[in-house]
Every structure is written in structure tokens, then in C-alpha cells.
Amino acid sequence: MANHDPETQPLVMTLVRFALPLVSVVISLLIAFQTYATDLNVEWPEGWSSSRQPALLDAQGQPTGSRQRAVLQDKDGNQLAAMEGTRLAVPKEHAVSIENVIATMRKALQFHYAQLGLLANCTKPTETALGDLRGLQVMCTMTARGETVLKHALVTAAGGQVAYSLEYAAVPIAFSEHLQEFLQVRKLL
């Protein structure tokens, strides 16, 4: 693994640790209606440490779904990359617009990184699949002082009574080195 700029490394790891939950909260705000908890079961790649995250709660304090997070660390314990998957149950009477969800997620991510002094340049949504569901994906590149310090992929999909999101954030070299693992998780979710 290449050495990273020591000035930006702490900032990058802070971003990776806190940006993923931010976007999950955006999804829960977009689906701010009565739902029920469901489990997300992700088979994370070998070498990634995974954990269940606290359930997202609706306005009444009821669980709206489940989240799992996986982190990849180098041999010294420094975080290189993170993935987070979210599964939300959707009532039959409510339709989810993945176009609106991905647009809101992208705006929230850009705003979050701007608050941290980074410029987040994101692609327009492109069609993809999350498991066997039609989905949309956005790829974002964060820069500081003209240098790319972080890459972040956002994917969302909905089908039947379930909505999903999957995120992948990493320092640039790790992002490229572990992209196939992200694509595999996206395929199996």
C-alpha cells in the first residue's frame, strides 16, 4: 500500500468513519413513514471486519430497517476503506423513487464534505443493479487542495416492499484495489 499524505490521512479516515452513516440517515428521512424492522444479511469480503449498526429509527422511535458496516484496515490497523449496507422495509401503500433518493443522497454527501472543507465532485446517476433489483449509482471524488483524498460510491435500489442502499468509501488507491470486492457485494445484496 502506498504511503498517504500524513496531513490528509486523519481527515480522510474521519470522513470514511462518519460520512457513511450520514447518507443512511438521509434515506430514513426520505422514507419517513411507518415501516418495520428487517434484517440485512451481507456476505462481506474476506479480510473486512463487519458489524451490525444501530437500527435507523422513525419519528416514533420504531426501527425502520437494518444496517451493516464493514471496514478494511491495513496491517497497522489504519482504516483504508468502508462499506455500509442498509435495508428498509416499505409499506405497500408507499412507492419509493430511487431517482429522488439518489439525488438527495448525493446532495447530502456533497454538503457534508463541503462542511469539512472538501470539494465533492459527483457523477450524474447511472443505472446499475443491486442484487437483482434495478438501481442507480453515483460516484464521488473528494479533493483537498487540488488533491484527491477520498472516493465514495453510493448505490440505491428498491423493489417490492424493500429499499436498499450500499456505500463504499476509501482512499484513492484502496478504492481502486478493492473495487471488485464492492462490485461483488453489490451483486450479491
**Which residues, 6+ apart, have CB-to-CB distance to 135 below 8 Å?**
98, 127, 128, 129, 155, 156, 157, 164
pTM of the shown model: 0.79
Q: What pLDDT score was predicted for residue 23?
A: 52
Q: Which residue is associated with the grid cell 424493500?
A: 162
Q: What pLDDT score was predicted for residue 113?
A: 92
Q: Which residue is associated with the grid cell 476503506?
A: 81
CA distance 47 to 158: 29
Q: What pLDDT score was predicted for residue 37?
A: 42
Mark the ranges of the chain whose per-residue pLDDT is less than 70.
Answer: 1-39
Q: What pLDDT score was predicted for residue 18?
A: 46
Under 8 Å between Cβ of 125 and 136 = yes
CA distance 88 to 102: 15
Give the three cell numbers for residue 55: 437500527
Q: What pLDDT score was predicted for residue 72?
A: 94
Determine the residue type at 27.
Answer: I
Q: Within 10 Å of residue 77's Cβ, how many Cβ atoms?
A: 6
Q: What pLDDT score was predicted for residue 91?
A: 76
Q: What pLDDT score was predicted for residue 42?
A: 85
Under 8 Å between Cβ of 83 and 69 = yes
Q: What pLDDT score was predicted for residue 36?
A: 42
